[in-house]
Amino acid sequence: MNGRVGRLIYWLVLVVVLVSSTNAVIRKVFDSSSNAWLELQWYLFSAIFMGCAGYVLLNNEHIRIDIVNSHLDRGTRNWIEVVGQVLFLLPLCVIMLYESWPYFLDAFVTGEMSSNAGGLIRWPVKLMMIVGFGLLLAQGLSELVKRVAVMRGLIPDPHGEKSGPH
């Protein structure tokens, strides 16, 4: 699922460039602008960032301290990944989902609008927090299962050489 979502979100990068460019041209040529265009850019950036978090984890492109990680043996790196996922990634995702839900629900039920003149409704951007952390949680669980299976010798390492020297 995260692979499909990530490839779909690639297109949002083009959309945000077009929106940003159009807004800049209209502002310069016609000396006119709307807060809605600027907020739309922010919403699209949010969708790109939050929507691709799980995709980044799926493709093993997340940030690590490679200087340290590259000097560790594969077994140690596997344990660090499992502990990191269990103690940090998965709890963070659950906490963020739990804490974000009331903010989204309140914005949705009340029809919360931006306080800026001509601004947009707020619930779609708040929903991106839930969608993003939900996708990241699902991918984190998938990666945990795969890492444990690799450690038990049940499957080959899906990330192969990307995880550093053997």
pLDDT digits (tens, 9 = 90+) for 3-32: 899 889 989 999 999 999 998 898 889 888
**Torsion (CA) 2, 7, 8, 13 in degrees, nearest 10:** 120
pTM of structure: 0.83
Mean pLDDT over residues 80-103, rounded? 95
| Euclidean distance between the first and the last CA atom of the chain, given in angstroms as a whole number | 30
Q: Which residue has the tokens 């460039």?
A: 17
Beta bridge partners of 113: 121
Helices (H), the chain: 2-30, 35-51, 53-58, 66-69, 74-84, 90-110, 123-151
77: amino acid identity, one letter: R
Total domains in the fold of the chain: 1
CA distance 40 to 23: 10
**Which of the pair, 2 or 99, is modelled with greater confidence?**
99
The reported pLDDT for the residue numbered 34 is: 80
Spatial contact of 1 and 9, defined as CB atoms under 8 Å apart: no
- pLDDT confidence of 65, banded at 50, 70, 90? low
Q: Domain residues for 93?
A: 2-163
CA distance 34 to 117: 8
